[in-house]
Amino acid sequence: MRTLILAAALALAFPAYAQKPDDPQVKRGRYLVQIGGCNDCHTPDYPLKGGKVPEAEWLTGDALGWHGPWGTTYATNLRLSMQDLSEDQWVKMAKTLTARPPMPWFNVRVMTTGDLRAMYRYIRHLGPAGKPAPAYLPPDKTPPQPYVAFPK
């Protein structure tokens, strides 16, 4: 009985870990993250390794800068940023998202609420990992290497 109460308390305290990997929503979220190209920017070296990056390293952000007329942006560590959002907060944020290039925020905005919820559950299921991505740099600042330069 004590074990059951402890398990229930932990599930309430850590809802990300309450998601089971065989949960259809978690599976759908994983699929959406893969086909939506989220790993391409938010997982270090994902494209360079042909997608062969351990799932434990997915969506931890990247230090590769994207430099252009808007300044320099870095792919966010989604695993850390999702920890501070409820599912409803994530959906609201995603539906009104605007972001600097090269983030395709316009694609996120048109995703269905169900798909956004599935992505949230998958990312929360992964749990927190990694460190925050570097902060945005304004256009007049030269970023440290490595970065991709877009024409001005």
Domain spans of the chain, in order of start: 16-149
Q: What Cα–Cα distance (Å) separates residue 68 from each residue in 18, 45, 54, 147, 149?
A: 41, 21, 30, 10, 6
Instruction: State yes or no: pLDDT of 5 exceeds 60.
Output: no
State the average pLDDT over residues 6-17: 42
Mean pLDDT over all residues of the chain?
A: 90
What's the pLDDT at 19?
Answer: 56
Q: Closest Cα to residue 129, out of 61, 65, 63, 74?
A: 61
Instruction: State yes or no: pLDDT of 15 exceeds 50.
Output: no
**Tens digits of residue pLDDT in 103-135:** 999 999 999 999 999 999 999 999 999 999 999
What's the pLDDT at 10?
Answer: 40
> Do the Cβ atoms of 72 and 60 come closer than 8 Å?
no
Residue 40 gets the label, from left (phi > 0), alpha (psi -120 to 50) or beta, of alpha
**Tens digits of residue pLDDT in 35-88:** 999 999 999 999 999 999 999 999 999 999 999 999 999 999 999 999 999 999
What's the pLDDT at 3?
Answer: 39
What's the pLDDT at 77?
Answer: 98
What's the pLDDT at 22?
Answer: 81
